[in-house]
Structure 1
Amino acid sequence: MLFPFTEEQRLLQRTLREFVAREVAPRAAAIDREERFPAETFARLGALGLLGIAIPKEYGGVGGDFLSAALAMEALAAGCASTALSFGAHAFLCAQNLYTFGNEVQRRRFLPALCTGEKIGAFALTEPDAGSDATSLKTTATREGNVYRLNGAKMFITNASVAGIFLVFARTAEDQISLFAVERDAPGITVGRPMEKLGMRGSPTCEVVFRETPVPVEHRLGEEGDGVHRMVEALNRERSLFSALPVGIAQAAFDAALAYSKDRAQFGRPIAQFQLIQEMLAEMATDLQAARLLTYQAAVLLDAGQGGPLAASHAKLYGGEMVMRVTNRAIQIFGGYGYIREFPVERLMRDARLISIGGGTAEIQKLIIARELLKSTEV
């Protein structure tokens, strides 16, 4: 193993696997079917300290490292991808960025409630006309004395319907973007109804509209106009840690397919004895391990202060493509049973499809990788 775990990380893995098997996985099918946010699971995650897994203890977190955060994401995703997605949006996109970019006053104001789960966090970057081209966002924050007036719309915001705190990117001048912490009870915020989606159906995704929403100047994170730098750093961290999401989904699909192939008999013997099934299992296992190693590498580099776009995009690109191959093969091994909702693999494939879209499409990751390679190569 290239990444020897500490005793604390091994304990975290064991504890989370037991927790997921007991409290997360048994609810996954119902959460998907009912399109319901798993509030009871979030309450337990808060009690366990996992909602602030990489936040220092003085702000209510547990002070873990980024590799531990990736392990937590992987374990949750193996049980319920919707739960893992909302966990990541809360713990990594909101709480972690608030800790990284906030000052001491902001940290002490917002982080304790996020770490306990008293308030759920959301990250509001994407807009109806600003997806892959995130810096073309149109939401504005106009300063009037000691407040900014926020106006605009955000689209596809994970956790929006349950969020108590939004991190919002807005334009403070024609050539400036800034980042703000916005509380849900501020006037002028309208959250749309959760969208009906192909997968990740237990993780609410909504449009959020701001109309003359007042935001105190002291809730701006960092200096006015440094939002693009914050955005790039946040996206690199997101892509590194969220790459554990497809690893967890793929692990669940592989485990289900392997167990089914041993149990399902055709032509007088288990289908696992047929070489074409063995080929699929071998390819799935190899694909999964490669994605896992890329993810752990990206997390370890974050911990070493060396995280950057190349490692993050490698992990995200490969993970998104890998999880579709693995879940597709899992359905093939299940045959007709894989196509019905009585078995989990069809849900896993639906959940997997988001990975190559959200947080930066596969095509954007390829452009980033090529750009980074060409920086050190003469053309």
Structure 2
Amino acid sequence: MTLPYFDESHALLRESVRTLREREIEPFINEWEDAEEIPRELYTTMAEAGLLGLSYPEEVGGSACDVFHGIVMTEELMKSASIGLLAGLFSHNIALPPIVALGTPEQKARFVTPVLEGRRIASLGVTEPNAGSDVANIQTSAVRNGDHYVVNGAKTFITSGCRADQLTAVVRTGGEGFGGISLLVIESDTPGYRVAKKLRKMGWAASDTAELVFEDCRVPVENRIGEEGQGFEALMVNFQRERLGLAVMAYAAAEVAFDEALRYARERHAFGRPLTGFQVTRHKLADMKMRVAAAKAFTYQVAARINAGEYPVSEVSMAKNFACEMCDLVVNEAVQIHGGYGYAREFKVERLYRDTRLLSIGGGTNEVMREIIAKFEGF
């Protein structure tokens, strides 16, 4: 059955991404995981295939498409079983949308097009040592001084932060609370900008993650995105796409884990029969399949509303939480079915077990999602 969300263009894209994944990624992904970074050349490869600019306007170097083209790409790339790969390749998808939405033509030419062409790496800088999901408590300061802002502070857990050429930074230009937050693009060669350290993580090994420090960084006023005080609103719109993307990663990762568990259960024998010959295994697999299908269907439904121009904040939070919590359960069961092999690096489920744990934290924790749901549902 063909789902109403997809047409021939989605099928062609899926085949194209599958071919690229099989040729350019899967033969090398274990090497990149061990190196804890992906090669910069891969950005160029992805750009030439038109994948870095998917969902961006044509005037900035993107490709006109809908939300489901992005979902198709994520689903296919997730079959590499490396969330770190996607996080590193597409860190610009949380760094560039505010520039596309609020930036001037000159800012888009400087900060958007080169990234979509694979010539620059872009990151988003929100989280600080003492402020994560509590965005209104951001403390990195940007004080106006003539034609520049003087920026002081620190950011942490910044995806692609070690190698980023530019950072869309959330800074405080005004008083306390949401209204004092603005966005500045800070280029990595700015004096006073430095990578304090590369963070080593449980998972997402293929993406570099940094702690950044700003010490009297002089950033031109022309690098401000939008007006002063517009940062929080732009960030909240950005979060909706990010959270939808995390939901897609979650059910896609769980689907890979299920496929790996089913294959292993059919091949592995115990007490003279395959693991699928035991009711307990079949029931585990049935539950896993059921949960993946439910999360996928709900995420598609929410994506369709976004595609139609709606802004379903509560439902996006529901989709993220539902998919991420389902993913934790399914991946855990996949490891259990593999037994001791599920703990070995050579098996995909081991990497998925480490990588998927962050999905319930990134883009707003499960607890924050529940607060958002409660607020928008009025209870």
TM superposition score normalised by structure 1: 0.94
- Partners of 1:129 and 1:239 in 2: CA distance: 22
Aligned AA for 2:330?
V
Q: 2:364 aligns with which of 360, 363, 374?
A: 360
User: Any conservation in 2 of the 1:327–1:348 contact (CA below 8 Å)?
Assistant: yes
**Residue 281 of structure 1: how far off its partner (Å):** 1.1
The residue that corresponds to 1:84 in the other structure is 86
Cα pair distance change 1:47/1:262, threshold 3 Å: same
* Partner secondary structure for residue 27 of structure 2: helix
The residue that corresponds to 1:133 in the other structure is 134
- The answer to whether structure 1 residue 193 and structure 2 residue 169 are counterparts is no
**Residue 225 of structure 1: how far off its partner (Å):** 0.8
Give the share of equivalent positions with the same residue, in percent: 38
Cα pair distance change 1:347/1:185, threshold 3 Å: same
Q: Which stretch has the larger CA shift, 132-141 or 295-304?
A: 295-304
Cα pair distance change 1:358/1:339, threshold 3 Å: same
The residue that corresponds to 1:302 in the other structure is 306
- Partners of 2:174 and 2:98 in 1: CA distance: 22
Measured against aligned partners, the alpha-carbon deviations of 1:328-358 in whole angstroms (never above 9, x if no partner) come to 1111111111111121211110001000111
- Partners of 2:228 and 2:137 in 1: CA distance: 17
Measured against aligned partners, the alpha-carbon deviations of 1:42-88 in whole angstroms (never above 9, x if no partner) come to 23111111111111122111122222112222222221211111233
Measured against aligned partners, the alpha-carbon deviations of 1:111-167 in whole angstroms (never above 9, x if no partner) come to 211101100110000100001211101001111121111111011000001111110
- Partners of 1:236 and 1:334 in 2: CA distance: 35
Aligned AA for 2:17?
L
The residue that corresponds to 1:250 in the other structure is 254
**Residue 25 of structure 1: how far off its partner (Å):** 2.8
Q: 1:372 aligns with which of 351, 369, 376?
A: 376
- Partners of 2:271 and 2:372 in 1: CA distance: 49
Measured against aligned partners, the alpha-carbon deviations of 1:5-50 in whole angstroms (never above 9, x if no partner) come to 0211111112112222332233332222232234343231111111
The residue that corresponds to 1:350 in the other structure is 354
Summarize the alignment of residues 58-207 of structure 1 with structure 2, pairs less than 5 Å apart: 58-79=59-80, 80-90=82-92, 92-175=93-176, 176-207=180-211
The residue that corresponds to 2:295 in the other structure is 291
Aligned AA for 1:171?
R
User: Any conservation in 2 of the 1:294–1:314 contact (CA below 8 Å)?
Assistant: no
Summarize the alignment of residues 30-69 of structure 1 with structure 2, pairs less than 5 Å apart: 30-69=31-70
* Partner secondary structure for residue 153 of structure 2: strand
User: Any conservation in 1 of the 2:251–2:323 contact (CA below 8 Å)?
Assistant: yes
- Partners of 2:3 and 2:374 in 1: CA distance: 26
Cα pair distance change 1:238/1:278, threshold 3 Å: same
Measured against aligned partners, the alpha-carbon deviations of 1:254-296 in whole angstroms (never above 9, x if no partner) come to 1111111111112222211222111111111111122222322
The residue that corresponds to 1:13 in the other structure is 14
CA RMSD of aligned residues (A): 1.6
- The answer to whether structure 1 residue 212 and structure 2 residue 212 are counterparts is no
- The answer to whether structure 1 residue 271 and structure 2 residue 282 are counterparts is no
Unaligned runs of 5+ in 1: none
- Partners of 1:107 and 1:36 in 2: CA distance: 27
User: Any conservation in 2 of the 1:148–1:216 contact (CA below 8 Å)?
Assistant: yes
- Partners of 1:32 and 1:323 in 2: CA distance: 21
* Partner secondary structure for residue 307 of structure 1: coil
- Partners of 1:255 and 1:190 in 2: CA distance: 43
User: Any conservation in 1 of the 2:98–2:235 contact (CA below 8 Å)?
Assistant: no
Unaligned runs of 5+ in 2: none
- Partners of 1:200 and 1:25 in 2: CA distance: 16
* Partner secondary structure for residue 109 of structure 1: helix
**Residue 242 of structure 1: how far off its partner (Å):** 2.5
The residue that corresponds to 1:281 in the other structure is 285
- Partners of 1:187 and 1:74 in 2: CA distance: 40
Work out the number of aligned pairs and report it.
374
**Residue 302 of structure 1: how far off its partner (Å):** 2.1
Q: Which stretch has the larger CA shift, 271-280 or 349-358?
A: 271-280
- Partners of 2:335 and 2:94 in 1: CA distance: 32
* Partner secondary structure for residue 197 of structure 2: coil
**Residue 2 of structure 1: how far off its partner (Å):** 5.0
Aligned AA for 2:94?
L
Q: Which stretch has the larger CA shift, 98-107 or 146-155?
A: 98-107
* Partner secondary structure for residue 210 of structure 1: strand
TM superposition score normalised by structure 2: 0.94
- Partners of 1:369 and 1:157 in 2: CA distance: 26
User: Any conservation in 2 of the 1:38–1:83 contact (CA below 8 Å)?
Assistant: no
